Amino acid sequence: MISMKFPKRSVLVLPKRYVIVLLMFISTCICYIERVGFSIAYTVAADAVGVNQSSKGMILSTFYFGYAVSQIPGGWVAQCIGGRRVLLLSFVLWSMTCALVPLDPNRVQILVIARLLVGVAQGFIFPSIHTVLAQWVPPHERSRSVSLTTSGMYLGAAAGMLLLPSLVKFKGPQSVFLAEAALGSMWSLLWFKYASDPPGLDPLKATAASFGESLLPITKYKDSPKGGLQKVKVENGGCSVRVVKIPWKRIVLSLPVWAIVANNFTFHYALYVLMNWLPTYFELGLRLSLQEMGSSKMLPYLNMFIFSNIGGVVADHLITRRIMSVTRTRKFLNTIGFIVAALALMALPIFRTSTGAVFCSSICLGFLALGRAGFAVNHLDIAPRYAGIVMGVSNTAGTLAGIVGVGLTGRILEAAKTTHMDLSSPESWKPVFFIPGCLCIFSSFVFLIFSTGEKIFD
């Protein structure tokens, strides 16, 4: 009897770091579905009961207070117990909050507490992501990995703008909370099952990583003779050596760090103002219904997704082919992105049609996303060992931009109404977009002068 042997089918197995990056991309996507979703659902619910623009701005900005206070603690905790664990705990907390809280504009106290909790939970996410990226991603994949991971924000915002208005229309505002909670729960299960620390983090199972120097030093803790805890670095052989403490003073006083901080503030000021108030601008400024706009309302965020990944690929190409140094690459992409975004922001209220407004906001957000291949990746350039910490510091500034920008926009529009100015008039909206436009120009020059692509924290 002749036995037949068939060749085994080859199965494509992604490298583990690609799985980690993909899951973190999905995580940022879901987070921004939540943020856009709350803005859309709350706006509909608040308008139904006659909440004024200033009060809406206060509720919409509450999230950022919680988000701001947890950024630096998030980076520190991720450094101590690992970004993988912190990321999972963050998702579980905000998903549970969305599942349990009623969306009732008249119950202001409950909404404020809920948005603070969601803000605190999500504030741990990006410092944790940068900590994980610093552990898993080699330097030659740094730009595109950060760009892909953070581009999930924009794809999530685009998906939210496309799908959630219809969900609100047919199922009511509360359905948005339940859908977000379900997405967060499903991601948590995937992360729990498939995510892991790099092999070197377990000295008993340590293997030679293919990307060696990109891994953070492995940290554990032991009793210090001076009291408290002292960090020690665990090598593959198991021996322990002392590791320098986190250089908080040097981080705070570093001009390259402040260049990142300034651009993070500006980026998020423009992004959060557009994310939270663009629906209102379409509805009141241009007299357009979000439901009637169809898929065009998602184009600005889809453009961000595309341009973010273009920026990452271009940056890695310029650096690995040695066309430009790391420093010049970061400055080049950051400057182009922010200057073009500034011009688009200032031109936005001039356009009085849906096509013009969508085009202008798409150019603005697309080039802002391109600029992230400059300042956003720069955390890993200057401080790969403390990437989560530096990200926490700069993202605190970005979160303060959300508090200032979203709240200030509400006050600007309310002041326009008190002076009997119609919110459909372009004059009412010019200061809303002119302020972030000026900030983009200013911060791009700050980054051009003070930033560097060299490692300055060992």
- The pTM score is 0.73
Q: How far from chain centre, in Å, is Cα 5? A: 52
How much of the chain exceeds pLDDT 70, in percent? Answer: 84
Q: Which two tokens stand for residue 189?
A: 């299960």
Q: What are the beta bridge partners of residue 220?
A: 232
pLDDT of residue 33: 92
82: left (phi over 0), alpha (psi -120 to 50) or beta: left
Give CA–CA dist 368/267, Å, rounded: 7
Q: What are the beta bridge partners of residue 242?
A: 232
- Residues 176-225 pLDDT 10s: 989 999 999 999 999 999 988 877 554 333 333 334 333 343 334 343 43
In 224-298, where does DSSP find H-type helix?
248-253, 255-280, 290-293
289: left (phi over 0), alpha (psi -120 to 50) or beta: beta
What are the residue ranges spanned by the domains of the chain?
16-201+245-450
pLDDT of residue 212: 33
Is the model's pLDDT at 396 over the cut of 80? yes
Give CA–CA dist 370/317, Å, rounded: 14
Q: Which residue has the higher pLDDT, 317 or 245?
A: 317
Q: Which residues contact 302 (CB under 8 A, 6 or more apart)?
A: 154, 155, 158
Q: How far from chain centre, in Å, is Cα 194? A: 22
User: Any idea what the Cα angle at residue 135 is, between residues 131 and 138, rounded to 5°?
Assistant: 120
What are the backbone dihedrals phi and psi of residue 8, each rounded to the nearest 5 degrees, phi first?
Answer: -70, 140
- Residues 88-111 pLDDT 10s: 999 999 999 988 988 888 888 888
Cβ-based burial of 266 (10 A; exposed 0-12, middle 13-18, buried ≥19): buried
Q: Which two tokens stand for residue 292?
A: 């009637």
Q: Provide the CATH number for the domain formed by 16-201+245-450 in this structure.
A: 1.20.1250.20
SS3 242: strand
pLDDT bucket at 229, cuts 50 / 70 / 90:
very low
What are the backbone dihedrals phi and psi of residue 223, each rounded to the nearest 5 degrees, phi first?
Answer: -65, 135
SS3 231: strand
SS3 310: helix
Cβ-based burial of 327 (10 A; exposed 0-12, middle 13-18, buried ≥19): middle
List C-alpha distances in Å: 349 to 53, 277, 369, 436. Answer: 19, 13, 21, 13
Average pLDDT over residues 45-73: 82
